[in-house]
Structure 1
Amino acid sequence: MLPTFGLTGMDAATENALKSAFAEASMRLGGRWPLVSEQDATHVLVDMDSMYGPMSWLRLHGAGKVVIGLTTAPRSQTDFRLGKPFNAESVAELLQQIAPSAATGSPGTAPHGVTPAPAPEDQLPEELAKPVSEEAAAPDQRASAAVSATLDTPAAPPAPQVEAPSAAPPAPSATAPVTAPPAPAPQPAPTRDRTLIDWLAPGQLSGRMRLQRGGTSVLLDVDQHQYFGPATLKPLQSHVESILQAGDFTAVDAATWNSETTMLGQGQALSRLLWFCALQAGKGQLMPGFDATAQYRLLKWPQTEREFPKHFRIATAMMKGPATLDELTAACGVPVAEVADFINANLATGYAEPYREPEPEPEQQKSGGLFGRLRGR
């Protein structure tokens, strides 16, 4: 089964350019690579350089998707990487890297430089494989086994004859059609409860809206990637943990928006709110799909909050190098549940990543000749 591909976590211009490059690359490889919705895709391309990229990667990774990171960075924590800038040729190389056997062309064609195997109708009779029956496989062995069993095992008394009941139904004939039992009706997939971190995923919300919980209101400007609300994060605990429906987000007109945002003061980056959502999401456990025994590291120093003073100690320990949850707990003296929550928050915002041992670089072959020997000195 060929993989299917989807796009998410990117602006419209990048998405359109990727669709065009993907279509051209698919044509070069025989047109066998479908581009589908994110929900139906097995492999999803995410713009890791956008604000929503790291959160999209975290969500897709937990859902079991294979994530392809679109980024200018030389490496990415995603399963595969597509560099920027990209074109049809680089996309084609990516497809060949993901499924090299399927990228060689349509069924029945061989890769360039490889002679295809002959079709069955083109083979000579002596080249065709002959079925080997069990009876003809090893007659000498079966005969000797049968004799040995006869000599070693005493003869068993004849089994008593039992009359079949007269009311037994007749056996069905070999030509009678067999009716298969009806297939069970498909059951709808259960709908998962959605919290704020799910609603802030790309494509879920747009425009300006209000979310109110527990007497506290927060104004979201999704298009401008900012929000207006309390200066601290803990008053938004109810907003982050509540199960939310679409009706909980109410649109705000321009006059009301200007009036209320003026009173609330400076807008805050929406990534800060996403950080707080991910901090609460795991409840002391790493997010689904992340190994608790793996090593994690910080890529850069995160913005720590005064409400969480222990985070400074965790960040200090993580900046020293990759470490497991237990190693970080021992190094900073913070409970493992708080360490896991801190890692979740920074995975979602792109500040942290699982650590992978780098592959050894191939040794460069020394050039021969006089100049090669002189350079080697």
Structure 2
Amino acid sequence: MTTRSICFAGLSRDEQTSVEAAFKQANAAHRWTLANENEAEAVVVDMDSMYGQMSLMKAMSGGKVVVALTAGGRVDTDFKLSRPVTAEGIATLLAELESQPAPVAEAPAPAPVPEPAASAPEPEPAPMPAPEPEPAPEPEPAPPADPHLADYLRPGALKGPVRLQLADAPAIVLDPAKGVYLGGAVLKPLLPYATAVVRESDFEPVDPARLPALATEIGGSHPFSRLAWILGLGGHGGSLAPGYNPNDRYKLLKWPQTEREFPRHFRIATVMMKGPALLTEIAELSGASLAEVTDYVNASLAVGVAEPDIMAPSEPEPAKGGGLLGRFRR
């Protein structure tokens, strides 16, 4: 007895398991093996699924013996397996399939031998095409930027409280759950954090239960926005932060908190509150240097109290109609 192959296609995982178990029970008196859809000679297609018709067409185009698996009564195939599937139903199906001869792959027809053509003058060889220029090499991707402390203030960047200590700056503790940092009230000592490269390995995890004691030990609790402000102030060395145009006008959206450590910031903020202005104009009117104004604008942009004043292009006025009809419409 020749071993033949069958595949159950398109079933859910649970039904596939139960159907294969029923197949093993029914196959005790037969010699069938389970195969994948491409290699099986008989394919059982789930006609009750949304992809049943597609699987049916694929199996038929591949020359398979197709069996419709369905709970309905009418099918367009020569064989049918009724749902719910039982071992008795599969045994009956296998017996019906065995009554049909196994399909034999047809040998490909021999290619026709071309008749010799009348001799003709050989055509002149076509000119060789010019070689195509080699494509320009793709530019290498830019290396990732070094991470800084400001990158870890974004939501989700830190999974829990951490402590950070630079050699030339006081220690701070970041508590991302509350959006606060623990440290002293003075900001200037934290300026080294603005330009330092900070990697995840530089952080020391902190037990959340220790946060109240650390707040007393190294300083009070302050919002992340205050730390983001000092990092924006000292992070760019007098140049405008990336993504902003030095030729734009900048304005303050509200009166910001000014720090006593930076007395000229009050005069810069006063000028900016009067209306949008160029960085050079703010420097001239406030008496501060251009670098000081640029750093202050960077800090204000970092905490969302400033923005560039970009004028939207005005729409052209519609052309007015002329003549009598135009005057009548107006």
Task: Please indicate the TM-score interval, normalised by the length of the shorter structure.
Answer: 0.5 to 0.7
Match of 1:283, SS state, is: coil
- Alignment correspondent of 1:349: 303
CA RMSD of aligned residues (A): 2.9
**Which residue matches 1:211?**
164
State the AA in 1 paired with 2:201.
G
Indicate the structure whose relative CO is greater, using CA pairs within 8 Å and at least 6 residues apart: 1
Aligned with residue 316 of structure 1, among 270, 273, 282? 270
Written as runs of structure 1 = structure 2, the 5 A alignment for 1:233-272 is 233-264=187-218, 266-272=220-226
Out of 239, 251, 262, the position equivalent to 1:285 is: 239
CA-to-partner distance for each residue in 1:157-194, whole Å, 9 max, x for gaps? xxxxxxxxxxxxxxx96689979869858845312112
Matched with 2:150 is: 197
2:260 alignment counterpart: 306
Give the superposition deviation at 1:348.
Answer: 1.2
Q: How far is 1:244 from its partner?
A: 1.1
Distance change >3 Å, CA 288–CA 255, structure 1 → 2: closer
Are 2:147 and 1:223 aligned?
Answer: no
Matched residue, 1:93: none
Match of 1:130 in 2: none
The answer to which of 240-249 and 332-341 deviates more is 240-249
CA separation of 1:187 and 1:289: change in aligned 2, threshold 3 A:
closer
Q: Residue 148 of structure 2 contacts residue 194 of structure 2 at CA under 8 Å; is this kept in 1?
A: yes
For the Cα contact (< 8 Å) 1:213–1:239, is it kept in 2?
yes
Structure 1 CA distance for aligned equivalents of residues 210 and 127 of structure 2: 79
Q: Do 2:166 and 2:193's aligned partners in 1 also have CA atoms closer than 8 Å?
A: yes
Matches within 5 A, 1:102-141: none
Q: Give 1:202 deviation, angstroms.
A: 3.4
Letter in 2 for 1:254: P
Shift of 1:323: 0.7
Query: Can you list the C-alpha shifts for 1:289-328, whole angstroms capped at 9, x where unaligned?
Result: 2221211110100011111110000000101111101111
Count of residues in Structure 1 that have an aligned counterpart in Structure 2: 192
Identity between Structure 1 and Structure 2 (%): 45
Gaps of 5+ in 2: 1-124, 318-330
- Could you tell me which runs of 5 or more consecutive residues in structure 1 were left unpaired when the two chains were aligned: 1-171, 364-377
User: TM-score, structure 2 length as denominator?
Assistant: 0.52
Query: Distance in 2 between the 1:319 and 1:186 partners?
Result: 45
Deviation at 1:361, TM superposition (A): 9.3
Distance 1:347 1:284 in 2: 14
In structure 2, distance between residues paired with 1:327 and 1:315: 13
Q: What is the alpha-carbon distance in structure 1 between the residues aligned to residue 189 and residue 212 of structure 2?
A: 23
Q: Distance in 2 between matches of 1:181 and 1:290?
A: 38
- Partners of 1:180 and 1:359 lie apart in 2 by 43
Assess, with a 3 A threshold, how the Cα gap between structure 1 residues 265 and 187 changes in structure 2: closer, same or farther: closer
Determine the C-alpha separation between the residues in 1 that align with 2:227 and 2:161.
15
Q: Would you say the 8 A contact 2:233–2:298 is kept in 1?
A: yes
After superposition, give the CA deviation of every residue in 1:235-275 in whole Å (9 maximum; x if it has no partner).
11222221111101111013433321233453101000001
Structure with greater Cα Rg: 2
Q: Which residue of 1 aligns with 2:45?
A: none
| Deviations 1:86-128 (CA, angstroms, capped at 9, x unpaired) | xxxxxxxxxxxxxxxxxxxxxxxxxxxxxxxxxxxxxxxxxxx
CA distance, structure 1, for counterparts of residue 165 and residue 268 of structure 2: 32
Whether contact under 8 Å (1:212, 1:239) holds in the other structure is no
- 1:150-165 aligned within 5 A: none
The amino acid across from 1:198 in the alignment is D
Task: Identify if the C-alpha distance between structure 1 residues 326 and 178 changes in structure 2 by more than 3 Å, giving closer, same or farther.
Answer: closer
Partner of 1:328 in structure 2? 282
